[in-house]
A and B are shown apart, each in its own frame.
Chain A
Amino acid sequence: MIITINSIGVWGSGLNGWDATQAILRGEQPRVDDTRKLPPPSLLPPNERRRASQVIRLALLCAQEACQNGPYEASELPALFASSNGDGFIINRILDALASPMGAVSPSMFHNSVHNAPAGYWMIAHHCQQPAVSLGFHNETVAAALLKAATEASSEETPLLFCAYDAPIPGSLGTVRRTDQPFGCAFVLTPGAHAGPQLSLSLHNEVTETDPAIQLPVTLQDMARYNPAGRLLPLLHALAHHENHTLHLPYGQHTLTVELTHA
């Protein structure tokens, strides 16, 4: 099954957009951890802008960049958002509140806690009525999401916004779930083979273990290994170098093989 990448958005700690990230992937610049807060996406109405958490901002910045550089209006695109941890900051806050005698769950925190919160904010930002699905599948989230995006784009014969993102979980949950640095990546995808980078996806009924960080600059290696969305970094590395590349993503008892070619 083949899909074409129309455009790319990337944000993360020390990764401010696809252009800057390409320079880092090519080894022209190091990635430097950046603890500054992400800005609220300007396209949100004031209430949502105020309520958008850091994780929501991360996802929306990626989606926004991909759509700005893509051939379609954001409001026309069905969307797929994928994250293993969801909004760990909020989940941890709620769990702390529930464990304290006087703790109360705040209403806006609760509605931001749903896994599809970034999808909801994105659709509000664009007054978009297209469908959106929000997925999670632990360390194999990217494999599940890429396969799902390709099957949806081809079954429904529609271009699609793909956005994978993950961020560390603070507090107690963070002690049992290691995630290195916020990272997110979005693609606008069109089904079939068209001009531009193409991904050919196939599923193999065997497990192929590969180190996702191999070939990556050293400042990106932990992100590729310990951020579930970071599993896309080897693909982005090849895209930044305009190279063909075959990615083997473990997916349960299968391997999802993603072959990148440029046409």
Chain B
Amino acid sequence: MNDLIITAGTAVSAMGRGVEATCQTLQSTRTTLQPDQFQPNGRGSIGRVSGIEDHTLPEALALYDCRNNHLANYALTSDGFLDAVIEARNHYGAHRIGIVMGTSTSGILSAEEAYAARPAGELTLPETFHYNTTQDLASLPHFVAARLGLTGPSLTVSNACASSTRAFIDAAHLITSGFCDAVVVGGADSLCRMTLQGFASLELIDPTVTRPCDATRDGISIGEAAGFALLERAGARPLSTTVSGYRLRLLGYGASSDGHHMSAPDPTGAGATQAMTKALKRAQLRPDDIGYINMHGTGSRANDAMEDKAMTALFGPHTPCSSTKGWSGHTLGASGILETMVCAIVLNQHFLPPCMNSTDIDPTFHSDMLLTHRHAAPQIVMNNAFGFGGTNSSLIVGTMA
């Protein structure tokens, strides 16, 4: 690949604000999911970011006010990410830095509130509801562009739960084709009743708490997250000694479709295997080179079984893997950027996080799924994301050395 590197990165989720807080959670066995009190009669658990309701946007960007952009702003102002982007902007120019955001539901919570506030029998929405700058898919990249003072090509990728993983691929295309020198890539998905009730209607919510890969796992716990990475070419500019988050190499990516079912993964894992295989091929790596896999690992019966099958087919039984959604919950379209930051932590802090909340790995699984923390110093790791519509993406990242 064209030597693409991530020079800055950050994320917020129920695990914490910024990479250091996230790292501390990942090193612990602290419970970060909580009972769903986000909605009346909520069931199961959620990964809620505390303080989002009180977080405010800069006054000039008040039109963008919604939970999703609050979450985005919370992340943008973590880990010195703003300063890192300003440095890149000073070097490349604002118009040469693009923005590729992944989100599944953007600011739809604002529309939920606006619908609930309608007078009985009327269609008219309150004047305080601004569709374009909250619910529309373009809201997030427009907000990020305004917040960062960037004017390069922007777009939103909405590939369900693979959105911000797939966003890295689209960002790479913009750079390798020469339309951008750098791209702010990432995304945000925030709690809303549509996803909480939608997944409940599919009976995919664990009534207690999600337990990825466990024999008794019974569904997902939904979480919220936002995260960003600055993607650019290696060696294109001198980098400062102050690092926002961690620096890492984007070594490979692969995407595929299941072509099987809208809301259930192909049980053979063929599509997932293909995404991982393509990522290895692009990185010119063998399966043995991968030191850890951060699984999609949603905790649903079907996903984890499919993913185990796909990983085993490609890697055999000895590649350590885990899902960190037992801490964060399933952060949907934001899971890709969040878990890329988890991969950055793993690469730099020399430990592998286990499947939080899980006690007995499904006996039918064959992969090396972690139940306890393990000391290890992998140089290259993989991150998987699969979504509704049968959309699959895998990324391979490595240390800068």
Q: Which residues of chain A have a CB within 8 Å of any CB of chain B? A: 1, 48, 51, 84, 86, 91, 94-96, 98-99, 104-107, 110-117, 119-121, 123-124, 126-138, 140, 144-145, 147-148, 150-152, 154-156, 171-177, 203, 205, 251-254
What does the 1/0 interface line of B250-267 toward A look like (CB < 8 Å)?
000001111111110000
CB of A115 within 8 A of CB of B158, answer yes
Additional A-B contact list (16), CB under 8 Å, known A99-B112, A116-B387, A151-B177:
A95-B115, A107-B263, A114-B158, A115-B137, A116-B160, A119-B257, A120-B390, A124-B260, A130-B256, A133-B170, A133-B255, A135-B157, A155-B176, A156-B173, A172-B125, A176-B129
> Is B364 an interface position by the 8 A CB rule?
no
Q: Are A129 and B258 in contact, with the CB atoms below 8 A?
A: yes
User: For residue B141, which residues in chain A have a CB less than 8 angstroms away from its CB?
Assistant: 137
12 inter-chain pairs at a CB distance below 8 angstroms, sorted by A residue, are A98-B116, A98-B194, A106-B201, A110-B199, A113-B194, A115-B158, A116-B387, A119-B389, A123-B259, A126-B259, A172-B125, A252-B151
When each residue 144-186 of chain B gets 1 if its CB lies under 8 Å from chain A and 0 otherwise, what string results? Answer: 0100000111111111100000100110111011010000000
By Cβ-Cβ distance, the 7 closest A-B pairs, closest first, are A120-B389, A110-B198, A115-B158, A131-B255, A136-B137, A138-B138, A151-B177
Task: Give which listed residue, B125, B177, B202, contacts A107 with CB less than 8 A.
Answer: B202
**Contact between B116 and A99 (Cβ–Cβ < 8 Å)?**
yes
Q: Are B125 and A175 in contact, CB atoms less than 8 angstroms apart?
A: yes
Question: Given A136-B138, A171-B123, A172-B118 in contact, is the A203-B153 Cβ separation under 8 Å?
Answer: yes
Q: How many A-B residue pairs have CB under 8 A?
A: 208
Determine how close the nearest CB of chain B comes to the CB of A159; give it in whole angstroms: 15
0/1 per residue, B198-242, Cβ < 8 Å to A? 111110000000000000000000000000000000000000000
- A12: shortest Cβ distance to chain B, in Å? 21
Output the residue of A107, A111, A115, A123 with the most chain B CB within 10 A.
Answer: A115
- Residues on A with C-beta less than 8 A from B83 are none
The distance from the CB of B247 to the nearest CB of chain A, in whole angstroms, is: 23
The distance in angstroms between the C-alpha atoms of A124 and B265, with both chains bound, is: 12
Interface pair A172/B104, CB less than 8 Å apart: no
Q: Could you tell me the distance between the alpha carbons of A41 and B123 in the complex, rounded to whole angstroms?
A: 33
Set of chain B residues within 8 Å of A151, measured between Cβ atoms: 173-174, 176-177, 179
Interchain CA distance A147-B175 in the complex, whole Å: 12
B270 at the interface (CB under 8 A from A): yes
**A135 contact set on B, CB distance < 8 A:** 155-158
> Within residues 16 to 44 of chain B, which ones have a CB less than 8 A from any CB in chain A?
none
